[in-house]
A and B are shown apart, each in its own frame.
Chain A
Amino acid sequence: MDLSFGPEYDDFRSDVVNFLDKNSDKAPKGGDMRGEQAKDWQKLLIENGYTCRTIPKEYGGFGAEPDIIRSRIIGEEFSKSRINPGLGGQGISMLVPTLLEMGTEEQKQKFIRPTIHGDMIWCQGYSEPGAGSDLASLTTAAVLDGDEWVVNGQKIWTSTAHLADWIFCLVRSEPEAPKHKGISFLLFEMTTPGIEIRPLVDMTGVANFNETFFTDVRVPKNQIVGERGQGWQVANAILGHERDTLAPPNTAQTRINALVELMKTETAGGERLIDNPIYKDRLMKLQGRVLAMKYNDMRVLSSRLNPGQDASLSRMITKLQGTELRHELEGLAIDIMGEVGLSYDDNPHLRGAGSWQREYMYYLGLIIGGGTSQIQKNIISERGLGMPREPKIEKKAV
C-alpha cells in the first residue's frame, strides 16, 4: 500500500492550487456553452494544461503525455474548490476521444480544435423510440447514393440537439447484416436540410433533450468514422469510458460535505437538523457509502497505474453504485428540509440555489441514461460473475 503520488506531484498540485487562487474570478459560474466567458476560460485552461490535457497540440490541445495522476490531481483540486473545470458536453467527452482513436487524420484536423474550444457543439444521436437499452436494434437508415449517405429515421432523447452544430449518429447502413454488424457511425451538420428538432421538456422543467427527425438528410460519404458496418465498435470504443465519468466519487465527497454544512445551519423547531439522531444516522450511513466508493475509486486508479492489478469488478460497478448513491444523497437533503426541500425556481426559500432538487432529479436521469441500472446489473452478473445470458427470443417475422 503506497498512497503517495511522489514529490513531483506535490509540486504539480500546488501549481494547480495557485492557478485556481489567481484565476478563479475568470471562471464562469453557469453552464452556458456558447458564452464568451466560457470560451475564454476554456482557452486559458487548455493553455495551462488543465483540460484537454493529452490532446495533441496540432489538434488544439495541450499535448501532454498521458499521466493519470496529473489528470487526477486536476480533477480533485477543481472539484474541491468548486471552480468550473472547463467545457464538457458530448463532443468533448465522447466524440473527441472516439476520433483520436478511430478517426482519419482529416477528421481529427477538422473537428477536434473547434470542438474543444467550444466553437463546435455536438449532440449524440444513438437512442431511438424503438432502440433504447437494446441500442443495437436501431433502424434509422443510411443508404449510399453516389458520394452521399441518405439518412432517414428518428432519434430521441437527443440531449442539446437544439444547441448543437453537429451530430454524431448511429445509423443502419447494412440492413442485411447481423444487427451489431450493420451499423455505421456518421457525422453531420445540424443545419443539413431534412433535420427537424422537437424539444422534449424533462422532469426538471427544462427542454434539455429532443426528438430529432431525419428526412432524406444527405451526408458526404467521407463523414463516416471507421468503416461501413463498424459503427458498433466505434461507439463502444469509449462507452466504458463514459460510464466511468458519470458519477465521480470526488463530487460525491464534495456534496456530502455540503450536506453536512446544510444540516449544521438548517433548523426545524429551532433544533439544528444535525442534532436530530435519525437524520444524523442517515447522514453517517451515506458518508460511509461515499467513503467506500472513494476507496474503490483509488483501487481502480491503482490498477491503471500498476499493470497486473485487477480491479475490473470495482470498475464495472461504479456507474450503478455512483448514480444511485448521488440520487439518495441529494434526496436526503430534500427530506431533512421538509416543505422547504420542495422549493424550486424562484422560491425565496430556495437552498443551495436549488441544486438539491435539481441534482436529485438529474441523477435519476443518469440512473436511466448511459445504460440503466438494470442493464448495469445484467453486465455485472454476466461479465463480472459469469452468469448465463437470458435465453434469446428470435424477432417475430413481420
Chain B
Amino acid sequence: MRFGLSEEQTLLKDNVNRFLEDNVPLDKVREYADGGSDSTIWQGLSDLGIPALLTPEEFGGVGLKPLDAAIVAESLGQHIAPGPFLGSAVMAPFALSNSPEGFGELLSKIATGEHRVGIAFGEAIARRNQASVHVKDGKVDGTSLFAFDAEADSYLVADQNKNMFLVSADDDGISRSNLTTVDRTRRTVELTYSSASAKPVSTDSNLFDRTLDLGRVMLAADTLGAAQSMLDQAVEYAKQREQFNRPIASFQAVKHMCAEMAASLEPCRAMVWFAAHALSDVPEEARLTACHTKAHLAEVGQFVSRTATEVHGGMGFTDLLGLHYWFKRIGANRQWLGAPEFVRSEAAILQGVD
C-alpha cells in the first residue's frame, strides 16, 4: 500500500514548478491580467509535454492518468498561471479520446499544444440568463456563457441534455466576446452561435459526467495549490512583519489563524490525490468523491484565501502585493463547473438521496 505520489510524479511536479518559477513570476501574471497573451507560457508548458499528458499514446500523447494532471493543476494554481490547461490538456483530450467519432488527428494537434480547445459546459450544468444551446442537423444555435479559454481554436460545447459537440472558433457562425470577471489570471468568453457547424462528440451523458468530474477535480487541485501558496505567503509575511516590537507571527491570534488554515488545508491534499486517482482506478467511488472534493476545496479555499489576506493586514488588500490574484482565482474555481451547494446536491442524488 502506498498512498501518495510516485517518484515520477514528484519529478513531474518539480519540473513544472521549476518552469513556472522561472517563467511565470507575478509580473508575468500581471502582464496577462492587463491584456497580454499567454502563448509563451503555453508554448513552454507544451515543450514540457503538458498538453500531451492525458492523450493516449496512439494519438501522440503520453497516456498518463488524472492524478498526474492533478499534480500539474496544483502547480498551476500555486503560481496562478494563465493558460488553457483545464480545457485543452485535460477535459477535451479526455472527452475526444473517449468519443466514438474518432478525433485522432485533432488529438495529436492538441497533444503538441498547437491546437487549443476551450470548454463551454455551463448550459449543461446550471443555466444562467436563460442561455441555451441547440443543435440540429450538424448546426448549432444559441449561447454559451462563461466558456473558458478566450484564445481557443475550437470549443467543446455541451447542450442542456449533456450532448457534446465540437465547434471551430473561426466558423462564420460563431461570435465570441470577452466576459470580464474578477479573475484576471484566466479569461472567459460568451459564445453566440448562429448556424455554426457542430461536429458531434458524444450523446452519452455518462461521458459528459466523467469529463465534468475530471474538470472539477482539476479545479479542486488548482485551488489546493493556490491556497497552499496563500498560506505559505501568510506564514512568511507574519514572520517578517513586526508590530509591538515582535514579529506578528508570535501573536497567538495570528498563529491560530495560520494553524486553522493548515489544519483544514492539509487533508485537502490527500483528498485531491484520492479523487484524482479514483477517476481512473476506483470508478465506483469516483463521481461522489469528485463532487465532494470540488465542494470541499471550494469551502476550504474560501476560508484560506480570506484568512491569509487578513494575516497580511492592509498590505493584503493592496494591488501592490498581488495576493488578490490568488484570492480571485480561488473564488473563480469555486464557481466554475458548479458552485458548492449545487455540487453537494449532486452528491446527495448520487447516494439515492433526492
Binding site for B on A (CB under 8 A): 1-6, 69, 260, 264, 274, 277, 280-281, 283-285, 287-289, 291-293, 295-296, 298-299, 301-303, 305-306, 309, 313-314, 317, 320-321, 374, 376-378, 380-382, 384-391
Contacts and interface: CB of A to CB of B under 8 A. Distances in A.
Contacts, number: 158
B3 A1 contact: yes
A355 to B, nearest CB: 22
A281 B295 CA distance: 11
A284 B338 CA distance: 15
A390 B247 CA distance: 11
B267 A295 contact: yes
A297 to B, nearest CB: 8
Nearest to A6: B1
Nearest to B294: A288
B238 interface: yes
B259 A377 contact: yes
Contacts of B274: 295, 298
A305 B2 contact: yes
A295 B288 CA distance: 14
Nearest to A321: B263
A378 B246 CA distance: 17
27 contacts: A260-B351, A264-B353, A274-B353, A277-B345, A281-B341, A284-B345, A288-B292, A292-B267, A295-B271, A296-B271, A298-B3, A299-B3, A299-B4, A299-B270, A302-B2, A306-B4, A309-B2, A314-B266, A314-B269, A376-B263, A377-B255, A377-B259, A377-B263, A378-B259, A385-B255, A386-B239, A387-B239
Contacts of B282: 3
A384 B249 CA distance: 13
Contact of B264 (A2, A291, A321, A386): A321
Nearest to A315: B266
Contacts of A264: 353
B237 to A, nearest CB: 11
Nearest to B231: A385
Contact of B259 (A3, A277, A288, A381): A381
A306 B348 CA distance: 35
Interface in B214-248: 235, 238-239, 246-247
Nearest to B353: A274
Contacts of B30: none
B255 A387 contact: yes
CB-based closest 9 A-B pairs: A302-B3, A296-B267, A381-B255, A377-B259, A295-B270, A284-B344, A288-B296, A380-B259, A292-B267
B273 A292 contact: no
Nearest to A278: B341
A299 B271 CA distance: 10
Contact of B250 (A1, A6, A283, A390): A390
Contacts of A283: 348
Given A284-B347, A296-B266, A377 B260 contact: yes
Nearest to A324: B263
A284 B281 CA distance: 24
B33 interface: no
Given A2-B1, A380-B259, A391 B267 contact: no
Contacts of B262: 313, 317, 380-381, 384-385
Contacts of A384: 259, 262
B129 interface: no
Given A296-B270, A317-B263, A387-B258, A288 B2 contact: no
A281 B344 CA distance: 7
A356 B238 CA distance: 41
A314 B255 contact: no
Nearest to A5: B1
Contacts of A313: 262, 266
B341 A374 contact: no
A306 B252 CA distance: 35
A301 B3 contact: yes
Given A285-B299, A321-B263, 19 more contacts: A1-B2, A260-B351, A281-B344, A284-B345, A288-B293, A291-B292, A292-B268, A295-B267, A295-B274, A301-B3, A302-B1, A302-B2, A314-B267, A317-B263, A317-B267, A385-B258, A385-B259, A386-B235, A388-B247
